[in-house]
Amino acid sequence: MASGFHINSLLFLFFFAGSAFGGVHFSTLPQNLVVQASPKQGSVLRAGEDTIKVTWGLNQTLAPGLDTKYNKVKVKLCYAPISQKDRAWRKTEDDLTRDKTCQFQMVAKPYSSTNKEESFDWKVERDMPTATYFIRAYALDSDGNQVAYGQTTDSHKTTNLFEIQGISGRHVSLDIAAACFSAFSVVSLFGFFYIEKRKAKSSGK
Ligand SMILES: *[C@@H]1O[C@H](CO)[C@@H](O)[C@H](O)[C@H]1NC(C)=O
């Protein structure tokens, strides 16, 4: 009896410690936000150049008053599963303090229950890594804890994915183009001298 009580209180302590130090679990969050973004399925956006328009709001078909605790909305870019494969540093964890899916914040705004829909134009930042993404928004309460979410993809993260092409990837191809071009110039320069020399020779007799 005594030891049973002991184990129970230990379990309770573990549970308590877990909830005190861990974060909100994604699987417990209701999908009450509707999130839409301008990129079409499969489109490729260029870092530093293209813009994403993202729109979010409470799902209007839900019962009113669900959002009384919503204080803030954070909209984030998240790695699609194909870009997480074999990359532990992008791993999805249910505990949101450890989750690495959504590493890029696009915008954070106070939540407004009077605005049915809000939107934001986000220019794809220059340092975005090349990857496949979707967009997710979290509603936070006044303590900063996630209380609801919405995302542009389905629950399996297979639909409405888009790509961002990072700048470093483009630089490589630019560098290759530049190298080819300068090799071509060197060759043509020598060719030009050779022809001029021959011309000079033949006219000099
Ligand atoms: C809004 O909520 C309803 C009821 O849960 C659901 O059927 C519908 O798919 C949701 N709409 C969107 C766009 O997520």
Distance 59 CA to ligand 1 centre (A): 6
Phi, psi of 110 (to 5 degrees): -60, 145
| DSSP symbol at 95 | B
Residue 204 belongs to some domain of the structure: no
The CB of 59 under 6 Å from ligand 1? The reply is yes
Residue 201 belongs to some domain of the structure: no
Range of the domain at 64: 24-165
Residue 100, pLDDT score = 97
The CB of 62 under 6 Å from ligand 1? The reply is yes
The CB of 145 under 6 Å from ligand 1? The reply is no
Which atom of ligand 1 is nearest the CA belonging to 59?
A: 1
CB 33 within 8 A of CB 100: no
Q: Give the residue-averaged pLDDT of 179-202.
A: 71
- Please check the confidence at residue 4 and state whether its pLDDT lies above 90: no
Residue 41 belongs to some domain of the structure: yes
Least confident of 16-20, 44-48, 59-63, 193-197: 16-20
In terms of pLDDT, which residue wins out, 192 or 106? 106
In terms of pLDDT, which residue wins out, 185 or 31? 31
Separation between Cα atoms, residue 72 and residue 141, nearest integer Å: 7
- Please check the confidence at residue 146 and state whether its pLDDT lies above 90: yes
CB 50 within 8 A of CB 133: no
Q: Whose CA is nearest to atom 7 of ligand 1?
A: 61
Distance 52 CA to ligand 1 centre (A): 23
Q: Give the residue-averaged pLDDT of 9-13.
A: 51
Separation between Cα atoms, residue 194 and residue 146, nearest integer Å: 72
CB 43 within 8 A of CB 17: no
CB 23 within 8 A of CB 143: no
- Please check the confidence at residue 89 and state whether its pLDDT lies above 70: yes
Of the pLDDT bands very low, low, confident and very high (cuts 50, 70, 90), residue 187 is: confident
Residue 63 belongs to some domain of the structure: yes
- Please check the confidence at residue 167 and state whether its pLDDT lies above 90: no
Of the pLDDT bands very low, low, confident and very high (cuts 50, 70, 90), residue 169 is: low
Residue 196 belongs to some domain of the structure: no
Residue 145 belongs to some domain of the structure: yes
Q: Which residue reads 């973004």 in tokens?
A: 37
How many domains is the chain partitioned into structurally?
1
Residue 191 belongs to some domain of the structure: no
Residue-averaged pLDDT of the chain: 86
Which atom of ligand 1 is nearest the CA belonging to 60?
A: 1
Q: Whose CA is nearest to atom 11 of ligand 1?
A: 59
Encoded tokens for 122: 């986000």
Residue 80 belongs to domain with CATH number: 2.60.40.2550
pTM above 0.85? no
Residue 199 belongs to some domain of the structure: no
Distance 166 CA to ligand 1 centre (A): 34
Probe ligand 1: pick from 61, 116, 152, 153, max atoms within 8 Å of CB?
Answer: 61
